[in-house]
């Protein structure tokens, strides 16, 4: 398991200047919009993108945020996982 970190507008793994995987987001009031997920070749195939989305859901729950999954990958995860629906802005 890799350590997931938070910076301005990114959940990421690795060095903040050159992350190995990241999920870009925007935060407007209490709405967390998941914009783009990227995993570099070195980490592909390890379920890292799914871990990033799961981390975003945990983050949203912790800070009482609602989520809009604009990213195709994140939207797919929300469609597959009923346990994520409690944080959706429009379930």
pLDDT higher than 70, residue 1: no
pLDDT higher than 80, residue 81: yes
Tens digits of per-residue pLDDT, 3-47? 887 888 999 998 888 899 999 999 999 999 999 999 999 999 999
First to last CA, the chain: 30
The neighbour count for residue 66, using CB atoms within 10 Å, is 16
């Amino acid at each position: 398991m890799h350590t997931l970190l938070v910076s301005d507008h990114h959940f990421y793994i690795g060095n903040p200047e050159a992350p190995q995987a990241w999920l870009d987001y925007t935060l407007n009031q209490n709405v967390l919009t998941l914009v783009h997920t990227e995993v570099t070749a070195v980490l592909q195939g390890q379920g890292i993108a799914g871990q990033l989305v799961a981390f975003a859901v945990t983050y949203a729950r912790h800070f009482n945020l609602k989520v809009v999954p604009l990213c195709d990958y994140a939207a797919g995860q929300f469609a597959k996982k009923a346990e994520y629906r409690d944080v959706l802005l429009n379930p």
